Structure 1
Amino acid sequence: MLEKFFLTYFPPNQLFMNSFYRFLGVFSILLYTQFLSAQTTSELLDSLKTELSKAKTANDRSLILSELTWYYVPVSQDTAILFGEENIKVAKSLDDAAVLSQAYSDLAYANMEKGELIEAKKNYQEALKLRYQTGDSTKIYGTITNLGSVYQRDFQSDSAMVNYLKALSFFERTGNERNADFVRNNIGVIYLEMRNYPKALEILQKVAEYRKAQNVDYLYASTLTNIASIYKNLKDYQNSEKTYLEALQIFIEEGDDYYTATTYNNLATLYNAQKYSKLAISFAEKGLELAAQVGADYDYALLESNLAQSYHDLKDYPQSREFYLRALSHFKAQNAEDDIATMYLLMSPVYAALGMPDSSAYYTQAYSDLNKKLTEQEIQQLTSDLEARYQSEQKDAAISRQRLELRNKNFQLYGSLVLAVVLGVVGYLLYSQQKLKNRQLAQEGELKIALAQIETQNKLQEQRMLISRDLHDNIGAQLTFIISAIENLKYFDPIKDTLSHRYDSIADFTKQTITELRDTIWAMNSGQITLGQLSARISDYLERAGVSTRGITFDFDIEKSLDPNFSMVSSEGIQIYRIVQEAIQNALKYAYPSQITVAVAQIGKGFQLVVKDDGTGFEESQVKAGNGLYNMRKRAEELGGKLEIQSKTGKGTYVTLLIPKK
């Protein structure tokens, strides 16, 4: 059900520094020998705390606190954060940018592993500012990489990719293959999160080969875990299990209880996907014990949710409810709202099976409310980003105008001086007049450029408003599918084998909402899109609609003579796509069809798009037009096209959009 991907991070001290060099600045060679003989992480931490009590200078204390922060992360993130915060205070007293930047980086790493992403981002940014002062390029780009990891954890894949590509370019340019390997691994994880499984597998297999050749067992195991996740999503369960078990064995041999617990959770997820519930329970219980020991609260909640799923599949509904409630409590304690929403959705059928319809309805409504809140937050964030960009460009335009005014004053002054000089020289006067005329023409050209910039900003504002309306309409279409599917579930016996499949389908489809939001922003920034791209998007939308809405057949017909490379402005493509969504949404809400067909055909030099259904139909003259019909007609008008709606009671509905060639 819930699994965890593995990213890799740059160590908080010198990149890829081995244990000897990490300790050399603080301890004697004797202590290093003592460290080599240590058998457990616990002994290492005890040794560090002993050395901390003996440290005589603030510089020594800071170095030891740095080590304690780093090594406590897989053991107890709360303790790691306490040491990290203490190190910040000590480092500030030294007035050393390099030491203070290291302290901020240590604390950011602990914040990130605990899931405190806002604090992690803030502390990494503080570290980056200080490292720019020190001029250490390797550490600068290491911090940029870790900022990318924070963005990736926060599902901001575009920002993460920007940071990763900056760092990768530097490391490849300087021949630092080991650092570049870290970045490639995280890029592979982004492709995994984006469900581009072939690309993710291609990158991560190369990363695994490199790490195995370098005998870096711990990092090799983390990459194996991600590869196993890809195999699981491709339903290659045999290779997935084999790869997970290989990673698990390495983590156990390394004595890493934290990542051992996480891998137990991923194996439980794999076995739940195959309905091997008892096997999933045995691995989840082992993971729970280890997660409790290392204080991995988030992973503990993930394991509880997997146990709840296993008991649900075994139809032990009281036990399933108990673990769902425990997981929900732990997710709430960590403010993990996406996971809380998932728990609400999965708990509803459990209460239905227990004959508690009121509780089932309560959690269904709680899921709907929280999902709406999360969607609105995402929209607000996107809108704020656009607004900030717009304001920044407005300020740039204002500065340009001020510079232009200053140049105008200078031109006037120089013109007056020249004119005063040439008054006594008739021949030179003609030359001066021509020179002044040329300068005036250049000034007019600059004025035109400035006016064009202002016009561009106004168009940007119009685009922003269009994006906001698109986001609203798209969310409405997506939620309609979700609500329709949830309502249909009321007519199914929740104990039947098909129930889990339907809820999984709903959950997968809900996750596409945010993807669709980002599609809108992407399309608006693309400039041009082809008819082939638009057709692929419509086809994907119909496929997902068919999965989420049973009992309805969705067909997509496109005339073969149409040129798939026919291009259009991206905003026009989005308008057409939204009209299709709105027409299908209306059919699902009001017409109760058994079949919906979208057809695209060549009409003259333009093309025609038809959305038809075999539902109940309606008399348009007897129906009060709502926002849906109004938006469809408004979009068609903005396209310069023509929208016709033909419907009769009992005979279905035809929505026809005619787009002339421009």
Structure 2
Amino acid sequence: MKTKFRIIFLINLFLLIFSCQKKENIENGNRVKQLLNNFDLSLSKDNHKEKELDTISLYLLKQENDSIIRNLLFKVANKYYELNENDKYLKLTKKVTELALKQKDTSHIAKSLCFMGEYYEKNAQLDSSFSYYSQSEKLYRNLKDTLNSGRTALYKAGVIFDSGNFTESEIGAINALKLLSKTNNTRLVYESYNLLALSLKELNNFEESLKYFDLALNQLQRLENEDYTKAKLIKSRISCFNNIGRVYEKQKNYKEAILYYEKGLALQDLKLNYPKSYAMLLDNMAYSKMKEGDYKDIDKLLFESLKISDSMDIAQGIVSSKINIGEYYLYKNDTIKALSYITEGFKLAKKIEAGPFIIRSLKLLTENDSKNKIYYSNLYIKVNDSIQSVERITRNKFARIAYETDQIEEKNEILSKKNTKIILGSGIVIILLGGVFALYRLKSKNKELLFIKEQQEANEKIYQLMLAQQSETEQARNEERNRIAMELHDGIINSVFTTRFNLIQLESSSQNKKQELINELEKTEQEIRRVSHDLTQNLLFEDKSFPEILTTLVDSQQNQYNTKFDLSVDKYIDWSAVRSANKIHIYRIIQEAIQNSNKYSQAKRCFIMLLKTGDKITIRIWDNGIGFNPEKVKYGIGLKNIKDRTKILQGELKITSSSENGTTLEIVF
């Protein structure tokens, strides 16, 4: 009877709508739209549900292409999804995409792309699903739709998790959570916490995983206060309790794991209404008890779980139970039964391509089947390598899809464009203004460079005068030193020699005393001669003038980052052998390097070292700043000058830089 009345209602509705022609008044058209908007799409529980949906979708597709019709088509598509009519769901979603593109409705285009992502995710075509979710997310971001941006980001993270890339899944869940936490959608925030906790569990970050599972449970409590659907709440709690138990199980804290499995099993009417979840919790609890050493009734729990999974044809549940039963018999030292169940579990796991169960069963067979140990060991290595290879390929595939999604231009116009003439005119004005600004900047830059050049030339003249003054001072010092040496040699030495000679000729009653005086005078003569020779040869000369100039330069440095500058000059460098012109180049190189460090490096320490290496001098300037890429950096005047001065010195320039090790400039000449 329900079906009969529903069909009559549909017929009356269609008659009313088909009576509305384009020439009829607006009031009648609005009445039709209102009736469509209020039309109840909920379906009766009989064999005519699919036919009803077919009839409704055909009717809606004949109507005017507006947002109301498209929204109703989305509702119809959702009902197809609930009925597992996946092909019709995809076909209708593609049709809605075409309608939305015609009207340039970005919101509905994004929604239809998200629907297609759900379709491919349901059919385990993860790469296609990821691609559609990425396109949808991009459109929602452009629309500044925080809720749906967060939703699609969460769905993307879920796809990545299903592919086994848990690190990227964690990052995706965090990005989704950042968006969804700004909304009032408690359910999506719960799903973000749950996915983040699951990713952390798989990455063995157990402490953080448990923290996010607690946050997920808090969100479920909020949903309960918001009168959220009770059945969905129970399913979510089952999932949380089971996953928390799995975390403790991985930590080998089996007592805590058992407590959470028992919490899940204690939920009302679990066995009756959720037999699949009941079997899963039962199987996991039995495994934890077995690991804890409590074998009481373990076989009953495991076989009960297996029976339920078998009756409902839950392949993964059957595999898990059989492997667990096999492990139970291993504890009971019944190797024959154990290997039988584990082998069955392995074969089924292989059939359904359940990687973790394949690995686990092969490991048990390798350890316990002595007869086929080598075979299973080789197979274990092969399967493990294969799984890792697939994970790497999948990881690269998703990265490539994300890149291509960002690079490909949208196939259709998404946003309404302004008048072409206005855009063109604005572009020309912007280009002209840009050109004027560029010319202004170029002139300003040229003036600045000219000023810098003049300043450098002035500085070089001042430095040349300083060096000339230093040279004159040194020359005067040498002349005075030579004069003193001559006085010592020609005057005092001769006097001492004469005195000594006369003393020798002198007759004395005390021959010993006389000889002592002669010896003393001879020593004095030799000492004066040595001092005179040293002064003449300038062996004690140490040219401190250039290092002092460098010290003054380094000590005067200050910047906003409070960089500490240190100078070290090798005492064995003979600066007298270095031409004045070359000293200027050395000074300028160090000055420019220090200036670059002040401006760009943000360093805490900067060391300037001048070292003697054989017959060469090495200038090494290092700072612990942020570094730069020497290959990509554009050579400015400063670096160009350093390069040119190095060439004049006939030296070799080497620059190494990174964010971790700072920057090192080294010149050897």
TM range (shorter): 0.3 to 0.5
TM-score (norm 2): 0.46
Of structures 1 and 2, the one scoring higher in RCO (CA 8 A, sep 6+) is 1
Question: Highest Rg: 1 or 2?
Answer: 2
